[in-house]
Structure 1
């Protein structure tokens, strides 16, 4: 335990060590974790030791880091959550630059305040790193601490408000508050199945970020979303093992300030899509394990689009009609066989990920129109047989990841025209052809050979 505390406080000043030591040495009654219900002396001592461990680490955080740590209480414990959701709070609500927000994740992990796992490849540079490949989780004790430190204010004045399923049993409490405006900036609701009549009439005019966590096969969105005129970030996350049908999406049409939407394990009925299609100002759209999202043609302002683990055989209609898109990630879509011919209409793309699409046999020739593209990932596209000669038109391409493209045995001669290319990651067979291209015209190219790596980490919740 001493070594763990030392690890949390590593690098801190002598004053910080003394302050933490003094507080840890206080009588346990002063700094007791809330809601200790066990009669086991061993369990009680372990909880106090855990609290002492983290208290030293939390107390040494600066104001920004402490606010970011308290945000962890918004998420369920022992659940792998895409780190992108956490970063979006810090970017859209905390107003942090994204590169600063990204640096906070490893810092909190270093202090044992969260756990990070990543599917990102080691060769990928930070410049083209993708937070959708990084996941965080937290233990229930750590989450309890975040809730404890962040919930001292009256429920109406809390900047963060977490409402769990058991809270909805207090009918009298919510009825008394139905005509009162909450000052909540970030709201997180964790429930089971919710019908339209299960929600209370509540008012959240100041809320900028909303998390809806639930576990069921059907879920009705609360009507009080209409009061969230300042909402910038929305996450609807089904924690169950089966996808859930979501109803009541029409309430989203009033959220004109919404910038980022993240949906996971959902089925969106066709008749309910109108509410989503009216969200004209969305800058970031992330869909994971979702079905039925047929048309995204109205999302003309989307700059960052992510589609992961879709079972649909086709991409959503209108994906090529998003001219503002700078980053597009389509991954783990095992039924996808073809990309639209007009894929090249996304002319402002700088980063494109087409990873783990095993049935994809070819890239559209229009890919040559992506003249601003700097990063291309076609890794684990096992069915890909060839690259179109138009790939030579990508004059700004700097990095190409094509590992485990096992059926791709030859390169078009036009790859010698990729004068800006700095790094190619591939297997040894195709790598020899890249070395020849390097000797011919791409003098600054580095070719990195990698062995096949099989992983089922994405199955782990």
Structure 2
């Protein structure tokens, strides 16, 4: 047979199968690349950001939108339009929880998720690597690794001007990290699976950081360490934390001077860590907090907040009267709180409120008369409020009301 390679039957079958698989995969990538060519420059940059996220994992679509808004400097409605366009081209998949239909709205539905196929991420990785290491806008891991790649140590001696940095590892203690010089980085994404995790020490020197995401996609919550460092990041605009447990913190006031958005999903213990002063927060969200029984009064002292949401927290039974102090509030979402018995009468003080969502609050039996004072309320969602037997006559005073979503019983 000379120098020709010989394969047994099993080897030959496996070789042909792998070759065919690679051939079709490469062909699919070429076809997808043609689809990318039809995108404008802004949409192409947004598509390349998909490589920052792990493949085949459902991630809240707001995470992607936040990067486009706070780092890419897009307007919210433009970011939504690009998200819809990428989904229509099958470059990402949009899904929602069973309770809600897939919809793209003005930031009102935090239960919208996106995921991407491995081939699509491979294309984003391929296209994003064309700039070379020195001029690359994104620095990321191709896949999950146990620790930081050793070659990254060079980034300590040579400042990396990368705009977005994404790290995907297993457990990380403080001594597992090494210093990385990231003076220009605006977004840091940390993905991991573990029950304990320490934020990287180099985070404190990221003076230009605007977006921070820490996501644990393991089956159990992880105790997060080093969280206090974020109070020193004066440019930080948005923080997203998922499936984490906050450690006990010392009673000291720390100011997050420019933070505009805070999202806590599947997190525990953060009500005890509410010693942070957040004066410029515009968007606040807590979702699936299994140990949240009482909403801290400090959560209601947000003078600039426009969107305030607590959802899927089954132990919450009442809301503080101080809820009415949020004079700038435009959207209030109190969804899937089955233990909630009533709304505080101070809700009538929210004179700028335009959207109220109490869907799936099965314990609410009646609404306060003060709800009639919400003269700007245009949307009211009260689906699946099965014990809500009557509405106060004051609802007739809601002159701006345009959309009501409710069950047939309430509709009549």
* TM-score when normalising by structure 2: 0.91
How do 1:69-88 residues align onto structure 2 when only pairs under 5 Å count?
69-88=47-66
Equivalent residue, structure 1, for 2:327: 347
**Correspondence 1:417 to 2:397:** yes
Q: Could you tell me how far apart the structure 1 residues matched to 2:153 and 2:53 are?
A: 26
The 1:368–1:195 alpha-carbon spacing in structure 2 relative to 1, beyond 3 Å, is: same
SS at match of 1:58: helix
SS at match of 1:270: coil
The 1:156–1:324 alpha-carbon spacing in structure 2 relative to 1, beyond 3 Å, is: same
CA contact (8 A) 2:354 2:378 kept: yes
Shift of 1:132: 1.5
Q: Which moved more, 1:405-414 or 1:48-57?
A: 48-57
Q: Could you tell me how far apart the structure 1 residues matched to 2:248 and 2:54 are?
A: 30
SS at match of 2:262: strand
The 1:153–1:52 alpha-carbon spacing in structure 2 relative to 1, beyond 3 Å, is: closer
Q: Which sections of structure 1, spanning at least 5 residues, go unmatched?
A: 1-36, 433-461
CA contact (8 A) 1:248 1:272 kept: no
How do 1:1-400 residues align onto structure 2 when only pairs under 5 Å count?
40-119=18-97, 121=100, 126=105, 129-163=107-141, 165-166=144-145, 168=147, 170-171=149-150, 173-271=151-249, 277-294=254-271, 295=274, 298-311=277-290, 312-400=292-380
Deviations 1:266-291 (A, max 9, x none): 0011227869x432211101010111
Shift of 1:371: 0.8
Q: Could you tell me how far apart the structure 1 residues matched to 2:209 and 2:148 are?
A: 26
Deviations 1:327-378 (A, max 9, x none): 1111111111110011111111111111100010000010010111111011
Shift of 1:248: 1.5
Q: Could you tell me how far apart the structure 2 residues matched to 1:38 and 1:283 are?
A: 54
Q: Could you tell me how far apart the structure 2 residues matched to 1:169 and 1:125 are?
A: 36
Equivalent residue, structure 2, for 1:26: none
CA contact (8 A) 1:190 1:213 kept: yes
Q: Could you tell me how far apart the structure 1 residues matched to 2:67 and 2:16 are?
A: 35
The 1:245–1:274 alpha-carbon spacing in structure 2 relative to 1, beyond 3 Å, is: farther
Shift of 1:298: 0.9
CA contact (8 A) 1:371 1:395 kept: yes
SS at match of 1:306: strand
The 1:233–1:38 alpha-carbon spacing in structure 2 relative to 1, beyond 3 Å, is: farther
Equivalent residue, structure 2, for 1:447: none
Equivalent residue, structure 1, for 2:5: none
Shift of 1:46: 2.0
CA contact (8 A) 2:297 2:320 kept: no
The 1:189–1:272 alpha-carbon spacing in structure 2 relative to 1, beyond 3 Å, is: farther
Q: Could you tell me how far apart the structure 2 residues matched to 1:346 and 1:271 are?
A: 26
Q: Could you tell me how far apart the structure 2 residues matched to 1:245 and 1:122 are?
A: 33
CA contact (8 A) 2:304 2:328 kept: yes
The 1:50–1:184 alpha-carbon spacing in structure 2 relative to 1, beyond 3 Å, is: same
Shift of 1:134: 1.3
Paired residues, what number?
393
Shift of 1:316: 3.6
CA contact (8 A) 1:325 1:348 kept: yes
Q: Could you tell me how far apart the structure 2 residues matched to 1:122 and 1:77 are?
A: 23
CA contact (8 A) 1:296 1:317 kept: no
Equivalent residue, structure 2, for 1:31: none
Q: Which sections of structure 2, spanning at least 5 residues, go unmatched?
A: 1-14
SS at match of 1:338: coil
